[in-house]
A and B are shown apart, each in its own frame.
Chain A
Amino acid sequence: MKIYQNLIPTQFTINGKSVEVEVASGETALYTIRERLALKGTKEGCGIGECGACTIVVDGKAVNACLMPAPQLNGRDVLTVEGLEDSGEISPIQEAFLGNHAVQCGFCTPGLMMSTQALLKENTNPNHDEIVEAVSGNLCRCTGYEQIVSAVENAAERVSKRKVK
């Protein structure tokens, strides 16, 4: 078993792209994503897993990037907000948030959409309670969540429609 001093070579896919990056032992995935990969869409709101602004999707599950040790990214499939678009076209989730006016200051938005993405991957037709459960780890101080929940409901419909097509 190799013991790494300081920097650990880490290989993973992020937004469909394969990357190799060296991360420090005590580094967080949030730091890796923002500083080493220069993907600024994932935000730091509190640094201690209490706000969800740093939510990313790892192997289909929503996690707080600020609490994830960066070396644990190794071998994983990671999605951040930058990966939602498809060749310049916004995703059904983004369309739903737009159409339901669910964005105000926009700081919590990337994390929220990641939680939505993870939810819809595991549950294509979530009910109201399941939606609320999925986004309760994402704090928002602007919107009061109502339009966000509508957006997630709408996103579920849009994603289903796309699949049927």
Chain B
Amino acid sequence: MKEGLCYARPRKLGEALEFLHGHGDETTVVAGGTDVMIAFRSGKLDSKYILDISRLSELKGIEIHGDELWVGAGVTLSDIYVSETLARFAPALQRAAFTFGSKQIRNTATIGGNVGNASPSADTVPPLIVHEARAVLGSVGGERSVPIEALSSGPYKNTVRSGELITRFVLKPAEGLYSNFQKIARRKALAISRVSLAVIAGKDDTGKISFIRIALGSSTPTPRRIDEVEDFFMGKTPTESLIWEAGRMVATKMIEISGRRASTVYKEKAVQGLFMRILYPMVQ
């Protein structure tokens, strides 16, 4: 345990933002602790303050507000797991919770923490991307919102400014569409994704793709939307060979962004394979 480490537990969001305004640069924010406590244990964090936001009620809640779906940054992965609202409006996000860590981890880990940690393999991020989510950042100066992709500038580097706190995510709800998240991992629980994909897709009356969003995770420095492949699909009837070809495009895009690494031999194929697996239900 570090000497001189100070601890503060705000009871209101305003208190937290006040504090961050004054001490943001020397503060580590902790919610569930599942990432922060590991960093502390290995001596990687040497902040002066811990700001415990785990009990801020303003950061909770999963609600529909008009045509927006609001998910509080302090919502836990277990909350996501059981949410009926998400089952209806954002199944991809809920499915990410199904394979996230373990029950113990889900009970305390928050979506804000997962996004803020900015791991390339953060499982909540691809679903947020396909829901065209924006992250709302609060500070004493007010709120600003950024597209979810802009929150991470690279592995473990978030773009949250000093004095800011992620307060909620605003998603575009997708009801009634095909909505999925899948990942490849080395075992069936307690395993970080090697490759992950989130998709939302819909077909028109003639069976052609009329709506599609695709996000790739764990394969590039930050999870990303694959617009080119979305464009490729629009107006086409999904067949096995079409999906296969599109999957190859996703893999090519990955290599374009990440370059060729030791893992590319596997990932190049696995991305294409996972893409087929996740979109195959659209072939009917």
Task: Report which A residues bind B (CB closer than 8 A).
Answer: 1-6, 8, 24-28, 47-50, 52, 55, 61-64, 66-69, 71-72, 74, 115, 118, 133-134, 136-139
Whether the Cβ atoms of B5 and A25 lie closer than 8 Å is yes
Q: How far apart sit A8 and B8, CA to CA, in the bound complex (Å)? A: 9
Report the nearest B residue to A136, measured CB to CB. B189
- Which residue on chain A has the smallest CB distance to residue B102? A137
Given A8-B7, A136-B102 in contact, is the A63-B107 Cβ separation under 8 Å?
Answer: yes
* Whole-angstrom distance between the Cβ of B78 and the nearest chain A Cβ: 7
Determine the distance from Cα of A55 to Cα of B107 in the docked complex, in whole angstroms.
11
| CB < 8 Å neighbour of A137 from B7, B19, B103 | B103
Contact yes or no, A68 B103, CB < 8 A: no
Within 8 Å CB of B103, what residues of A?
62, 115, 118, 133-134, 136-137
Decide yes or no: A25 and B50 within 8 Å by CB, A5-B6, A61-B78 being known contacts. Answer: yes
Contact, CB under 8 Å: A5 / B41: no
Bound-state Cα–Cα, A3 to B19, Å:
10
Residues of B within 8 A of A72 (CB): 33, 52, 54
**Nearest neighbor of A111 in chain B, beta-carbon distance:** B104
A52 to B108, CA, bound (A): 14
Flag if B40 contacts A26 (CB, 8 Å).
yes
A6 CB contact (under 8 Å) in B5, B15, B36, B49: B5
**Set of chain B residues within 8 Å of A69, measured between Cβ atoms:** 30, 33, 36-37, 50, 52
Instruction: Judge whether A67 and B101 touch: CB under 8 Å.
Output: no
CB neighbours of B105 from chain A (8 A): 49, 64, 67, 137
In the complex, what distance in Å separates the CA atom of A2 from the CA atom of B81? 34
Per DSSP, chain B at the interface is: mixed
Report the Cα distance A134→B9, complex, angstroms. Answer: 30
Q: How far is B19's CA from A144's CA once the two chains are assembled, in angstroms?
A: 49
B3 located at the interface, meaning its Cβ lies under 8 Å from any Cβ of chain A in the complex:
yes
Q: For the complex, is B160 an interface residue (Cβ under 8 Å from A)? A: no
Question: How near does chain B come to A128, taking the closest CB pair, in angstroms?
Answer: 14
Contacts between chains A and B (CB distance < 8 A), count:
107
A138 and B15 alpha carbons, distance in the complex (Å): 37
A1 and B107 contacting across the interface, CB-CB below 8 Å:
no
Does any Cβ of A come within 8 Å of B202's Cβ?
Answer: no
The chain A residue with its CB closest to the CB of B16 is: A1
Is the Cβ of B108 less than 8 Å from the Cβ of A4? no
Q: Are B107 and A136 in contact (CB under 8 A)?
A: no
Least CB separation from A68: chain B residue: B33
Confirm or deny: B265 has a beta carbon within 8 angstroms of a beta carbon on chain A.
no
Chain B positions within 8 Å of A52 at CB level? 102, 104
Q: Do A137 and B190 touch (CB < 8 A)?
A: yes
Residues of A within 8 A of B101 (CB): 49, 137
Residue in chain B with minimal CB distance to A52:
B104
Q: Which residues of A contact B2 (CB under 8 A)?
A: 25-26
Name the residue in B18, B37, B54, B188 with the highest tally of chain A Cβ atoms < 10 Å from its Cβ. Answer: B37
Q: A25-B7, A133-B103 are in contact. Are A49 and B1 (CB under 8 A)?
A: no
